[in-house]
Amino acid sequence: MHPLFANVVMSSVSKKPRGRPKKLAQSNAGVGPFMTTLMTIRAAKGRQRGRPPKVKPPLTKNVCIGALIFVRLYNLIESARTNCMENADENHVHMEKDKPESNLCEKNMEEKIDYIVQTLECLQNSVETLNAKIESLTKENDELSKELEAALATVEALEQLDWCVLVEFFVAMI
């Protein structure tokens, strides 16, 4: 018996395996039927038992890739810094040359403020209409809740009535 299966608890009832050769049954004697099927499947396929070992890539390859990525990122950052510095210098020079454009910027700012004010006025109008709708729906809800309470009171009163007495009353009237 294999040392891995030495600690397997044997069941008190041993069944004779069906349809197996005697040699296989004798070599697996004392092992439960589930274990014999696993052992035969693994033995038949010729696979190694257990989990295959993990293969780790060499450390030097990972270090080289990491260094390459670092160098590329560093170059990108440096090129972005130089572009930003050049653009900032150009923007500063243009701002000093074009003083009249600052008035255009102010006009653009005024137009933006006007647009924001108009948008706020539209929003205020829509809020007012929505508040009016909310008030009308609240009133309608109050009316419907009163009608519901009246209907429930009627149902409760009808449930408490003795129908036999009511039927006799109507029969007597006829």
What are the C-alpha distances in Å from 55 to residues 47, 51, 52, 58, 113? 18, 12, 9, 9, 65
- Give residue 45's pLDDT: 60
Average pLDDT value for the chain: 69
pLDDT class for 53, splitting at 50, 70, 90? confident
Nearest-angstrom CA–CA distance, 9 and 30: 10
Where is 136: in which H helix or E strand? helix 100-160
pLDDT class for 100, splitting at 50, 70, 90? very low
For 58, phi then psi, to 5°, come to -60, 145
pLDDT at 166 over 70: yes
95 vs 54 pLDDT, higher one: 54
Please give the model's pTM, rounded to 2 decimal places.
0.32
- Give residue 146's pLDDT: 95
Whether the CB-CB separation of 9 and 35 falls below 8 Å is answered with no
